Structure 1
């Protein structure tokens, strides 16, 4: 009976779950607004290609109303002697609290923060980002360049699944 009660509480706390694809952004970030950079993954292949995944948060400044404080980006950077390939993805523009992030599995990352949603008030937001298509697109670009110099931008979108629970 306790299990059923606990399950009901958990299910009632889960408010929404939604998924979307996020394309790379071309927006520029001022270094002065960077609040934190969280390195989620870094690896160098035997071919000498170093790939880094970083969550970057920018501070939008304080406000007297309920404006979000932080913007969250996922940065993908693949560097090699013969070419550098990168992409930045706008993950969230509605973070009110300090953002936490971690790697869940190869190519899968999680970001958590608090946000204000008109219909629900303050909520805990969890976003799971599947960046595997970015890795695939990176490898396709490098293969197409063969042994030539190859700087470029990833065009692949990442999948983002969001879930929220009440913060009250």
Structure 2
């Protein structure tokens, strides 16, 4: 499928099934008149396919060793991209950053293959509002000695995430912006 067609198809799917015009309290603590519930997209086969296809096209030429992001928004996206990358003959290693260290098992905060010092990583999430989720993930990764190449989200709500992450030296990229859905 051509990139423009996949992009349009994902946009239409999000607008139809995951974009809500209603007053809602966001995880950032802000109140918004719009809510985008991307788990309604990333946890269904068609949505996962479209997201993986588009994000793969965006990241495949980057020089990086690992792809990861904060749980829970990144979890289905990472699985979809990992599967997609395997089918393309370029399997990726992915990881998930927990909000807090597990209290049992190996008591890890980063789940997945061990990240090596100086590894180049891309972090992803479903939606960025203030950038706090990606920023918290970055703050757990940086002490490990990894280099965060860039960050990707499906939708940037355009409420300061790009600027916040820029202060951490991370470039935020998105497939869509909230303003795309308000046209």
Shorter chain as denominator, the TM-score bin is under 0.3
Structure having the larger proportion of residues in helix: 2
Structure having the larger proportion of residues in strand: 1
- The answer to which structure, 1 or 2, has the higher relative contact order (CA under 8 A, 6+ apart) is 1
Task: Give the alignment's TM-score, normalised by structure 1.
Answer: 0.26
Task: Give the alignment's TM-score, normalised by structure 2.
Answer: 0.25
Larger radius of gyration: 1
